[in-house]
Amino acid sequence: MASMGRFTVGSHVWVEDADVAWIDGLVEEVHGDELIINCTSGKKVTANVSSVYPKDVEVKRCGVEDMTRLAYLHEPGVLRNLKSRYGMNEIYTYTGNILIAVNPFQRLPHLYNDHMMEMYKGAEFGELSPHPFAMADRAYRLMMNYGTSQAILVSGESGAGKTESTKMLMQYLAFMGGKVESDGRSVQQQVLESNPVLEAFGNAKTVRNNNSSRFGKFVELQFDQNGKISGAAIRTYLLERSRVCQISDPERNYHCFYMLCAAPPEDRERYKLGDASLFHYLNQSNCIKLDGMDDSSEYIATRRAMDIVGISSDEQDAIFRVVAAILHLGNVEFSEGSEADSSVPKDDKSQFHLRTAAELFMCDEKSLEESLCKRVMVTRGESIVRNLDSRAAALSRDALARMVYSRLFDWLVNKINTTIGQDPTSKLLIGVLDIYGFESFKTNSMFSRWSKKNIQKKRLIGVTSSLWTTKRFLISLRRNQGG
C-alpha cells in the first residue's frame, strides 16, 4: 500500500480511472493522505495515497521484454509495459521465467514456422525475443541436461489463447523429440493430431472465442535417454457437459455436431441428418456457421486426424453415429400421456427422431422411450416404476444426452492414449497443463502428484486477452511457482 511519504509535489504517478483503468499525471498538492493530481488528460482528480502508484519516467516507450527489470512491478506499470509492447505487435513478454501472452486476435504464422523453431533451438533463455518456443526449449534442455522432468502450466481467462499457446509448445517439443517411424505414424505425429480430434469434440464457439476449449487437458510427453519422444498420455478434466443441451446466443455447441451436419451427402443420409438449424440442441442460438470456418472441410480434416491417431473406420462410424443420435434425441418432444402425470412422444416428428436415435444407439425403441418417460426406483429390493410428466421427461432426455456425450469424450481420450502408447520405462517427462483455474488453488494437487515423478522445475505460461486482469494473474502464477 502506498504511504503519504512516498509522494511530494511534482511526483509522477498513476491514478485509477473509471474509463481507462489507469491514467498518469503529476502530484500538484499534498494534503495529508489526499493527493490532488493533474492528469495528462487535462482533468484534475483527488485520490487517497492508497490508490496511487509511482510512475517510472525512465522506462522505454517500447517497454521491456522482461518485466522483472521494471522499477515498479505494480498493476499500472505492468499494464503500461504490456500495452506498449502490444502496440508494436510484440505479444509476448517475460516476467522472470513466466511468459505472458496477449491474444493478438489474428493469425501470425510467421512466428511459428520451422525457421523460428530452428532459431530457438538451443538458444540461451532470454537471448531471443520472448516466445513459447523459448519456454519449451528451456524445459527440454533442463530435462536433458539435469535428468529432471518438467511441467508447463498454460493458464488464463476464456478467449485468451491458451489452446493456441499449448499447440505451439507441443509443436516445438515434437520438433525436438521427433524420430522417424517405419509405419509412417510416429508418436509425435499422433500427439499433434490428437489436438484437432479433441478440439472437434471438446471445443466450441463462445462469446469471446470461436474455438474455446470447454475442458482442461494435461499432456504428458515421455522421452527416452536420447531425448526422443517414446510415449505420451493425455488426461482431460471438467468437460462442460451442460453445453450439449443448452447454449446461449451467439454461442455454438461443440464443433463436431456442425461438422457432421455439413458432412458429405452419403454420411448425412446414413445418419438421417439435415441442416444444423433443424436440431434443437443447435438452433437455440442464431449462430450456426462461423466466419472463416468451413464445417464440411473440418469434418474431413477430423476424419483424417482420426486415421493418424489410430481410430479405425468402424470406430469413426460408431463415434459419429452417437453424435447423430444425440442430435435426434434432442428433437424428441413430449406431451401429456393418457395416465396422470405421464408423458409420450409429442407427435410423429418426435416419434421419428426417437426411432432414429434408437437405431443409431442400436437399442430397442420402446425401451428408450420408457427410459425417458418413466423412472425406476429401487427400495428394499423392490423396483417401483413411476411415470414422468412431459417436463420431467424432457429433463431425462437431456440428462441422457449429456451422459452419453461425456462417455463418448472419455472413450475418445482413452482410445487416443491406447493407440499412442505409453513408455513405462521413461524417466524423462514433460507435462503440459492447459486449464483455467488451477493457478488459484492454495494447494496445486496436479504438481503435487507429479512431484512423485521427480519433477524439479515448473515452467509457466500466462495467457491473457484482457490487459486489466494481468496483475492478479501474475501474482497468482508467481505464488504457485513457489519463488
Q: Which residues are 293's β-sheet partners?
A: 290
Beta bridge partners, 102, equal: 464
Q: Is 443 a catalytic residue?
A: no
- pLDDT exceeds 70 at position 37: yes
Rounded mean pLDDT of the chain? 88
* Catalytic residue check, 158: yes
Which one from 25, 77, 159, 431 is the annotated catalytic residue? 159
Which of the two residues, 351 and 192, has the higher pLDDT score?
A: 351
Which one from 93, 155, 212, 236 is the annotated catalytic residue? Answer: 212
> Is 149 tagged catalytic?
no
| Extended beta strands in 105-228, E state | 149-156, 203-204, 212-213, 216-223
Active-site option among 155, 213, 426, 470: 213
* Total Cβ atoms within 10 A of residue 280: 17
pLDDT in tens, 95-151: 988 999 998 888 888 999 999 999 999 999 999 999 999 999 999 999 999 999 999
Q: E strand or H helix at 45, and its extent?
A: strand 44-48
Least confident window among 159-163, 166-170, 334-338 = 159-163
359 closest CA partner among 272, 253, 460, 229: 272
How confident is the model at residue 49, as a pLDDT?
92
Average pLDDT over residues 263-283: 97
163 is catalytic: yes
158 is in an annotated binding site: yes
User: What ranges in 160-239 are assigned the alpha helix state H?
Assistant: 162-177, 187-202
Active-site annotation holder among 124, 277, 437, 454: 437
* The listed CATH number (3.40.50.300, 3.20.20.80, 3.90.550.10, 3.40.850.10) that belongs to domain 67-241+419-481: 3.40.850.10
Is 431 part of any known ligand binding site? no
313 is catalytic: no
Give the pLDDT confidence score for residue 408 in this predicted structure.
Answer: 98
**Bigger pLDDT: 339 or 273?**
273
**Quick one: cell of 26?**
503529476
CB-count burial class (<10 Å; 0-12, 13-18, 19+) for 300: middle
Determine contact, residues 147/443, Cβ cutoff 8 Å: no
Catalytic residue of the set 158, 371, 469, 476 = 158
Closest CA to 103 of 158, 62, 185: 158
Highest mean pLDDT among 37-46, 259-268, 447-456: 259-268
State yes or no: is 437 an active-site residue.
Answer: yes
Angle at 458 between CA 452 and CA 459, to 5 degrees: 150
Asked whether the beta carbons of 226 and 423 are under 8 A apart, the reply is no
Query: Is 159 among the annotated ligand-binding positions?
Result: yes
pLDDT at 447: 53
Per-position DSSP letters for 303-346, written without gaps between them: HHHHHHHT--HHHHHHHHHHHHHHHHHHT--EEE-SSTT-EEE-
- Give the separation between CA 394 and CA 427, rounded to whole angstroms: 50
The more confident residue out of 381 and 17 is: 17
Would you say 333 is a known binding-site residue? no
Which set of grid coordinates corresponds to residue 375?
Answer: 423412472
> Mean per-residue pLDDT for 153-174?
88
Write out pLDDT tens, residues 356-403.
999 999 999 999 999 999 998 888 778 888 999 999 999 999 999 999
Find all residues with CB under 8 Å of 351, minimum gap 6, and list them. 345
- Provide the pLDDT for residue 133: 97
Whether residue 161 is annotated as binding a ligand: the answer is: yes
pTM: 0.85
What is 328-417's CATH number? 1.20.120.720
Q: According to the model, what pLDDT value does residue 460 have?
A: 61
The residue from 199, 251, 369, 439 that is catalytic is 439
Helix 390-420 vs helix 365-373: crossing angle, to nearest 10: 120
Here the cell at position 392 is: 420431467
pLDDT for position 135: 95
Sign, CA torsion 119/125/127/133: positive
Query: What CA–CA distance (Å, rounded) separates 42 from 285?
Result: 45
* Annotated binding-site residue? 63: no
Our answer to whether residue 426 is catalytic in this structure is no
Which cell is 191 given? 500427439
Please say whether the beta carbons of 64 and 82 come within 8 A: no
Mean pLDDT of the 441-470 span: 51
* Residue 421 among known ligand-binding residues: no
Q: Is 381 annotated as a binding-site member?
A: no
Which residue of the set 209, 356, 464, 465 is catalytic?
209
Q: What is the mean pLDDT of residues 331-358?
A: 95
Task: Tell me, yes or no, if 248 is annotated catalytic.
Answer: no
CATH 1.20.120.720 residue ranges in the chain? 328-417
Tell me the HSE value of 371 on the side-chain side, using a 13 A CA sphere: 14
Q: Is the pLDDT of residue 469 over 50?
A: no
Task: Give the CATH number of domain 4-54; options: 3.10.105.10, 3.60.15.10, 2.30.30.140, 2.60.40.10.
Answer: 2.30.30.140
- Cβ-count burial 452-476 (b if 16+ within 10 Å, e if not): eeebebbbbbbbbbebeebbebbeb
Distance (Å, rounded) from C-alpha 137 to C-alpha 114? 14
Q: Which of 61-70, 121-130, 139-148, 463-472 has the lowest mean pLDDT?
A: 463-472
